[in-house]
Amino acid sequence: MLELEQLTQLMAVAEHGTLSAAAEALHISQPSLTRSMQKLENVLGVALFERKKNRVLLNEAGLLAVEEAGKVLSAAEGMEARMAAYARSLRTIAVGSCAPAPMWEVTPLLSRQYPEMTITAEMNEPDKLEDGLVSGTYQLIVTDAPLEKPGILCQEYVTEQLYVSLPPAHPLAKREAVHLSDLAGQTMLLFSELGVWQRLHDEKMQDIRFIVQTERKAFSDLISASVLPSFTTNLTQRYGAPMNRVNVPILDQEATIRFYLCVSEKHRSLLDAVYTDNTHH
Amino acid sequence: MLELEQLTQLMAVAEHGTLSAAAEALHISQPSLTRSMQKLENVLGVALFERKKNRVLLNEAGLLAVEEAGKVLSAAEGMEARMAAYARSLRTIAVGSCAPAPMWEVTPLLSRQYPEMTITAEMNEPDKLEDGLVSGTYQLIVTDAPLEKPGILCQEYVTEQLYVSLPPAHPLAKREAVHLSDLAGQTMLLFSELGVWQRLHDEKMQDIRFIVQTERKAFSDLISASVLPSFTTNLTQRYGAPMNRVNVPILDQEATIRFYLCVSEKHRSLLDAVYTDNTHH
DNA sequence: ATGCCTTACGTTATACGTAATTATT
DNA sequence: AATAATTACGTATAACGTAAGGCAT
């Protein structure tokens, strides 16, 4: 029977020009390669080489065989690659989220519950999240609205509440609460990658000037160093709240978002994992 | 390393549903197949089966693997088929001819000279013959005009002379020779598959009525049984000339065709073979 | 003299089938 | 009981590397 190994060897011979060189490249002995190529010729029923006493040269059939071998081997490599990708996916939990903070919450919980699994997380638009969950690109998604769909489980997760983070000397710092309208005319620091919060920014904050920072560390440094107001939320505060800041809640309805976790039924256990572990907080 | 045999076995398992049935179909023992599939799982790095105590079922990875295996195997089968076709072509001399008689001459000569080769012969149009010779579809062609082309050898072969074959009682039977115009108004028997002779038929025989026969044996029988005139040539007469017939040569220039043999340079020996053997006649 | 291919030879590894084991229908 | 899968075991095949031979550059 035709062996893939023989085809690999044939290609090596074609590449290196001599059996000796190919054998060395393949880490086998010359005689072994000689025999293997003879066998291949038998299997295919054609001589692939023109045999001079001291040299083998690919003949027309040999060149054809090399070409064909390339096709077969790339099909085989494709198979191996796709199977490997699938195997990897079995060891990976892909999380998709519509906002950053819930994602930061979820991924450590998962990796604690599934230490042997690789956890990947990325933000995406709600539509893409839903599609991705159905198609298997994501095993768990965080949405800002419950998802009612056959085969999909959806549970309320956390509520994120927006605050203005102010230096104590700021005029608004003594307020119990503010509305977004109170912030009109302010210059604020803003971290990018807002996810669904982007909508709030686009629609309700036209009267605010923003200094946008895309790097997390630079953003933290900026906040510590400046007296400009910024935003924070009940969730972001868990991860190193900045010093010397007063957080005043924002009362507008849009400043509070309730997040939901959705999984396909066959990954129900992921939900349990998150909720179980969440109680530790 | 991945083995094509494992893929074949996997497909057999998918097809037959159990290892036992597949093993029987493959003419190997169950344990052997079990081990082979375990090995395949190791190579691919994924479990392909859901193992119940008494049964193996393809899981998702297994189904994917079956699909991929199909692709790989058909690539491999494609390779084997193409190599086999090439191997066969090495054992085949394909003759193309623009007329039947020279073809009948050439093929027996070739098969006597090359007893190990398969000789195929077919009629075709001059253009197709030339293309086929260049592309390697034909190794030898018979044309009605010399072919001057680099890389191609062309030699005069035989001349075919057209005769009217008449019953002795026919008015024209006593003539030394005739012109085609003398045949106007006759009803003649004609064998189809004329090749280049077709042109003569189309252009110079509009005044003749023909009874066309497409089977060689039926045609011979017809000739023996009827008193209708027909055509014959110096070449066809070699193969069983009909009894009680007088053959009168046709003087028109178009009633004589000179044929040429053409081969590519690397098949020069074919020419020698034909000419060498031809002298025996 | 060196490089390259092939054949010969002895060893090792691996791949097979039979038999035994366990579990299911 | 009968069917099915896996594991265990002894054997036989076939694949490897080393060694030897032949030929060409």
CA A23, A27, A31, A37 dihedral sign is negative
Structure tokens that stand for B149 in this block: 């082309």
Query: What local confidence, expressed as pLDDT, does residue B279 receive?
Result: 47
Band (B195; pLDDT cuts 50, 70, 90): very high
Q: Among B5, B61, B80, select the one facing A44 at the smallest CB separation.
A: B80
Asked if the model's pLDDT at residue A280 lies above 50, the reply is no
Average pLDDT over residues A64-91: 97
pLDDT band at B114 (very low <50, low <70, confident <90, very high): very high
pLDDT at B277 over 70: no
**Predicted confidence (pLDDT) per residue in A195-248, tens digit:** 999 999 999 898 999 999 888 788 778 788 888 999 999 998 777 666 788 999
pLDDT of residue B281: 44
Look at strands B187-191 and B209-213 and give their pairing.
parallel
* Cβ contact A44–B78 (<8 Å): no
- Asked if pLDDT for residue A279 goes beyond 50, the answer is no
| pLDDT tens, residue by residue, A257-271 | 999 999 999 999 999
CATH of domain A158-257: 3.40.190.10
pLDDT digits (tens, 9 = 90+) for B73-96: 999 999 999 999 999 999 999 999
Pick from B1, B44, B87: CB nearest A45: B87
Q: Answer whether any strand C atom is within 7 A of the Cβ of B279.
A: no
Question: What pLDDT, on the 0 to 100 scale, is given for residue A277?
Answer: 58
Residue bearing the bigger pLDDT, B20 or A278:
B20
Strand C nucleotides in reach of protein CB atoms, 7 A cut-off: 3-8, 15-20, 22-25
What pTM value is reported for the model?
A: 0.80
CA A61, chain centre distance (Å) = 47
Of B197, B158, B157, nearest to B180 by C-alpha is: B197
The DSSP call for residue A178 is B
Predicted pLDDT at A227: 86
pLDDT tens digits, B197-253: 999 999 999 999 999 988 878 888 888 888 899 999 999 887 776 678 899 999 999
Judge if B91-157+258-276 and B158-257 fold alike in CATH terms: yes
Size of interface A-B (CB pairs under 8 A): 85
Characterize B217-241 residue by residue with b for buried, 16 or more Cβ atoms within 10 angstroms of its Cβ, and e for exposed.
Answer: eebeebbeeeebbbbbbbbbbeeee
Fold of the CATH domain B4-88 = Arc Repressor Mutant, subunit A (1.10.10)
Of the listed ranges A23-37, A70-84, A201-215, the least confidently predicted one is A201-215
| CATH of segment(s) B91-157+258-276 | 3.40.190.10
Q: What average pLDDT score do residues A62-73 get?
A: 98
Could you give the angle at which helices B4-16 and B19-26 cross, rounded to 10 degrees? 120
Interior CA angle at A12 toward A7 and A13, to 5°? 95
Give the nucleotide nearest to B54 (CA→C1'). Answer: D4
B chain contacts of residue A5, beta-carbon cutoff 8 Å? 1
Q: Up-side HSE of residue B124: CA atoms within 13 Å toward CB?
A: 19
A212 to chain B, any CB pair closer than 8 A? The answer is no
Q: Which amino acid is at B101?
A: A
Q: In the predicted model, is pLDDT for residue A161 greater than 60?
A: yes
Written as six digits, the tokens of A122 are: 């990325």
d(CA B208, CA B189): 10
Q: In this complex, is the C-beta atom of B61 within 8 Å of any C-beta atom belonging to chain A?
A: yes
Q: By C-alpha distance, which of B92, B22, B31, B94 is closest to B58?
A: B22
Domain residue ranges in chain B: 4-88, 91-157+258-276, 158-257
Mean pLDDT of chain A: 93
Residue A132 has pLDDT above 70, yes or no: yes
B61 contact residues in A (CB cutoff 8 A): 83, 86-87, 90
The Cα A157–Cα A124 span in angstroms is 18
Region A51-80: mean pLDDT is 97
* Pair A195, A97: CB distance under 8 Å: yes
State residue A192's pLDDT score: 86
What pLDDT shows up at residue A281?
44
A82 — contact with chain B (CB < 8 Å)?
Answer: yes
pLDDT, one tens digit per residue, over B14-41 is 999 999 999 999 999 999 999 999 999 9
Give all strands (DSSP E) within chain B, no chain letters.
Answer: 49-52, 55-58, 92-97, 118-123, 140-143, 152-166, 187-191, 209-213, 230-233, 246-249, 256-264
pLDDT surpasses 70 at B58: yes
Asked if A28 reaches chain B (Cβ–Cβ under 8 Å), the answer is no
Q: Whole-number Å distance, CA A23 to C1' C3?
A: 14
For range A129-157, the mean pLDDT: 96
Answer yes or no: is pLDDT of B159 > 50.
yes
In a 3-state reduction of DSSP, which class is residue B75?
A: helix
The kind and range of the H/E element at A220 are: helix A216-225
